[in-house]
Amino acid sequence: MTLEIIPAILVKERAELVRRIAAVSPYVKMVHIDVMDNKFVPNKTVGPESFFDLPKNVLYEFHWMVENPEDYISKIPGPHLHLVHVEAVKNWAAVEKAVAKAGGTLGIAFNPGTPLDQLLPVVEKAERVLAMTVVPGFDGQKYIADVEAKISKLRTLYPKLEIEVDGGIGPQTAIGAVQAGADKLAAASAIFAKQDIRKAIRDILDSVSCAGCPSYAECKG
């Protein structure tokens, strides 16, 4: 599988969302947008009302850290990846119906403390699994390395599954995530806190090159 760096955006205003998308879009294929409702997690971000006319030169994955994610997904038509939390979904049929109606694909996220036994019965519904390596709600948190054991088990059970890691990802923590089996890395502050966005993305890729991951050019291409 090809390693991919996916810039993660957690903001409260549409103007900042668009600014950050523009800053990274020349260097990546996909952008990760965090959506929080101040219910499932203790924070609130931009929501569906801010997702009109987003730049079309990248793909989008929406990370729904919300209760009743199907109500949000139905408002965002397009070929997007919708990452819903296994801890939040009460009605899988409703979520799958909303994703299909919107024209998107389904991904499933799980929190650091969630046992894999809760995730495994629904993994095959998903195109991608997102492993949280911080407690969701705020960026800038410390990477929880214990989640790597769950990533490794997922990779063993599902060799072809797309596995993304989100939380505390940077040049150092990316190594353990990739060695455990991740092929997608969502990074926020490690990218947006840097002056040189392209170099920040390259630095993460270069840090895992020793594990046999592709070069920056191969990842972008």
pLDDT attached to residue 215: 45
Fold of 4-220: TIM Barrel (3.20.20)
pLDDT attached to residue 211: 54
146 is catalytic: no
Backbone angles phi, psi at 51, to 5 degrees: -100, 20
Residues of the chain with pLDDT under 50: 213-221
Catalytic pick among 34, 139, 183, 203:
34
pLDDT attached to residue 137: 86
Catalytic pick among 37, 139, 166, 183:
166
Lookup result for tokens 């490690």: 190
166 is catalytic: yes
CB within 8 Å of 109: residues ≥ 6 apart: 63, 65, 83, 84, 85, 86, 129, 130, 131, 132, 166
